[in-house]
C-alpha cells in the first residue's frame, strides 16, 4: 500500500476557525442554540406527521422527509464542529471523514431533488386542484421520495470514491470545519482538473436543473394566484409562496456559490461561512417557514399537547 497518504492512518485535522480563536467561544454558543432549536423543530414535524391523521397528506409526507434529512445533516456535521470549537483536539479519523463526506453529499443531493418534488406538489395543488388527489396518489409520493434518496446517495457513492482516492502525500490539514469535496480537492497533491469538471457537471444536474424546475413550478403558481379575485387570498398565497422561495433561494444560492466555481478560486473564510450557513441555518428555517406557521400544524400540535395533558391527568 502506498503510504504517501498518511491521512489514511492518522486522520485529518479540521482547522475550522482556529485562525480566529476569539470567535470560537461565541460560535460554539450560537451553533449549540441553533442546533437544539433545529432538532426540536424538525423532530416535532416528523412526530406530528406520523401521529396526526389530518397531516397524512402528500405535502406533509414530503415535509417530514425534508425534516428527517435536515436532522441527519445537522447531526452529521454540527456535533463534530462543537467538539472542535470546545476542545484542543481538532482531529477526525479517516473513516469519520469518509462517513461525514458521504452523508453530507448524499443528503445535499436528496434535498435538491426533494425541494423540486415539493414544488411540483404545490403546483399540482394550486393549478390542478380537481385532479390533485388523483395525480399525487400515495404510490407516486413514495416513488418520488425514494427516487430523491436513491439519486442523492447514488451520486454520493461516486463522489466520495473519486474524492477519497486522490493522493494527499501526507497532507491532512483541512481548512474547514467538516469534510467537504472542494476542500478535499484542494488538499490533493495531484492534478484534480478531471475531478473538478466532473463535480461541476454533477452540480449542474443537482442544482441548476432542480432550481429551474422549481422556478417554473412557482411561475405557474404565481399565474394561478393572480387569477384569485380576493385580494386577501392573493396576498396570503403570495406570502406562502414567497417564504417557500426564500428557503429555496438561500439553499440553492449557498450550494451554487460553493460548487459551481473551481476549488482553486475559493476564499476559505467565505466558503466556511457559507457552509456553516447551509448546514445550520437552512435546517432551522425549513420547519419555521414550511410548517410550523401552518394552521394545520398548529392545530395538530395543540391536539398532541392536549392528549399528553389528558393522559397525565388521568
**What stretch of H or E contains 285?**
helix 282-286
Task: Tell me the pTM.
Answer: 0.87
Instruction: State percent of the chain over pLDDT 90.
Output: 29
Split at pLDDT 50, 70, 90, the class of 150 is very high
DSSP 291: I
Q: How far apart are CA 79 and CA 241, in angstroms?
A: 33
Which has more pLDDT, 82 or 1? Answer: 82
The tens digit of pLDDT for each residue in 19-56 reads 677 777 788 898 999 999 999 989 988 998 888 888 88
The tens digit of pLDDT for each residue in 183-236 reads 888 888 888 888 888 888 999 999 999 999 999 998 888 888 887 777 776 776
Q: How far apart are CA 241 and CA 283, in angstroms?
A: 18
Q: Within 10 Å of residue 23's Cβ, how many Cβ atoms?
A: 14
Split at pLDDT 50, 70, 90, the class of 302 is confident
Q: What nine digits make up the cell of 258?
A: 460553493
| Apex 225 CA angle, 222 and 227, nearest 5 | 120
Least confident of 39-48, 127-136, 156-165, 301-310: 301-310
The CATH code of domain 7-313 reads 1.20.1070.10
Q: How far apart are CA 124 and CA 217, in angstroms?
A: 9
Question: Does the pLDDT of residue 144 top 60, yes or no?
Answer: yes
Beta strand 91-92 with 12-14: parallel, antiparallel or unpaired?
antiparallel
Question: Does the pLDDT of residue 10 top 60, yes or no?
Answer: yes
pLDDT on residue 139: 93
Phi, psi of 93 (to 5 degrees): -65, 160
Which CA distances in Å does 118 have to 26, 96, 224, 295? 36, 32, 17, 19
Q: What is the dihedral of CA 293, 110, 246, 225, to 10 degrees?
A: -70
Which CA distances in Å does 60 have to 190, 228, 240? 46, 25, 15
Read off the pLDDT of each residue in 98-111 and give the average, rounded to a whole number.
93
Least confident of 79-93, 115-129, 287-301: 287-301
Question: Which residues, listed in sequence order, are joined to residue 86 by a DSSP beta bridge?
Answer: none
b/e per residue 28-57 (b: at least 16 CB within 10 A): beebbebbeebbebbebbbebbeebeebeb
pLDDT on residue 100: 93
**What stretch of H or E contains 60?**
helix 58-86
Which CA distances in Å does 275 have to 115, 137, 241, 291? 19, 36, 25, 24
pLDDT on residue 6: 45
Provide the residue ranges of all domains of the chain, joining segments of one domain with +.
Answer: 7-313
Please choose, from the candidates 72, 62, 48, the residue with its C-alpha nearest in 3D space to the C-alpha of residue 145. Answer: 62
**Residue 84, C-beta contacts closer than 8 angstroms, at least 6 positions apart:** 14, 16, 90, 177
The tens digit of pLDDT for each residue in 239-297 reads 667 777 877 888 888 888 878 776 555 566 677 778 888 888 888 887 777 776 677 77
pLDDT on residue 210: 93
Split at pLDDT 50, 70, 90, the class of 122 is confident
Q: How far apart are CA 49 and CA 52, in angstroms?
A: 6
Question: Does the pLDDT of residue 1 top 70, yes or no?
Answer: no
Amino acid at each position: 500500500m502506498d503510504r504517501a497518504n498518511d491521512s489514511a492512518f492518522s486522520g485529518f485535522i479540521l482547522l475550522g476557525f482556529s485562525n480566529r480563536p476569539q470567535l470560537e467561544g461565541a460560535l460554539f454558543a450560537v451553533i449549540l442554540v441553533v442546533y437544539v432549536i433545529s432538532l426540536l423543530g424538525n423532530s416535532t414535524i416528523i412526530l406530528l406527521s406520523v401521529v396526526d391523521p389530518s397531516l397524512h397528506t402528500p405535502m406533509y409526507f414530503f415535509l417530514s422527509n425534508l425534516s428527517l434529512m435536515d436532522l441527519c445533516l445537522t447531526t452529521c456535521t454540527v456535533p463534530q464542529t462543537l467538539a472542535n470549537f470546545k476542545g484542543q483536539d481538532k482531529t477526525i479519523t479517516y473513516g469519520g471523514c469518509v462517513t461525514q463526506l458521504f452523508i453530507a453529499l448524499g443528503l445535499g443531493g436528496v434535498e435538491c431533488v426533494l425541494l423540486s418534488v415539493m414544488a411540483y406538489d404545490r403546483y399540482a395543488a394550486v393549478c390542478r386542484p380537481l385532479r390533485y388527489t388523483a395525480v399525487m396518489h400515495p404510490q407516486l409520493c413514495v416513488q418520488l421520495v425514494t427516487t430523491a434518496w436513491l439519486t442523492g446517495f447514488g451520486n454520493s457513492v461516486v463522489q466520495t470514491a473519486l474524492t477519497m482516492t486522490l493522493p494527499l502525500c501526507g497532507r491532512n490539514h483541512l481548512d474547514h470545519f467538516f469534510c467537504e469535496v472542494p476542500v478535499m480537492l484542494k488538499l490533493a497533491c495531484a492534478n484534480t482538473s478531471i475531478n473538478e469538471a466532473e463535480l461541476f457537471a454533477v452540480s449542474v444536474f443537482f442544482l441548476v436543473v432542480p432550481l429551474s424546475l422549481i422556478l417554473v413550478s412557482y411561475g405557474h403558481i404565481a399565474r394561478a394566484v393572480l387569477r384569485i379575485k380576493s385580494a386577501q387570498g392573493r396576498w396570503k398565497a403570495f406570502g406562502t409562496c414567497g417564504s417557500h422561495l426564500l428557503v429555496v433561494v438561500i439553499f440553492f444560492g449557498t450550494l451554487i456559490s460553493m460548487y459551481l466555481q473551481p476549488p482553486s478560486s475559493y476564499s476559505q473564510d467565505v466558503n466556511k461561512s457559507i457552509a456553516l450557513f447551509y448546514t445550520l441555518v437552512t435546517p432551522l428555517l425549513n420547519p419555521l417557514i414550511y410548517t410550523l406557521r401552518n394552521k394545520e400544524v398548529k392545530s395538530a400540535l395543540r391536539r398532541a399537547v392536549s392528549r399528553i395533558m389528558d393522559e397525565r391527568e388521568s
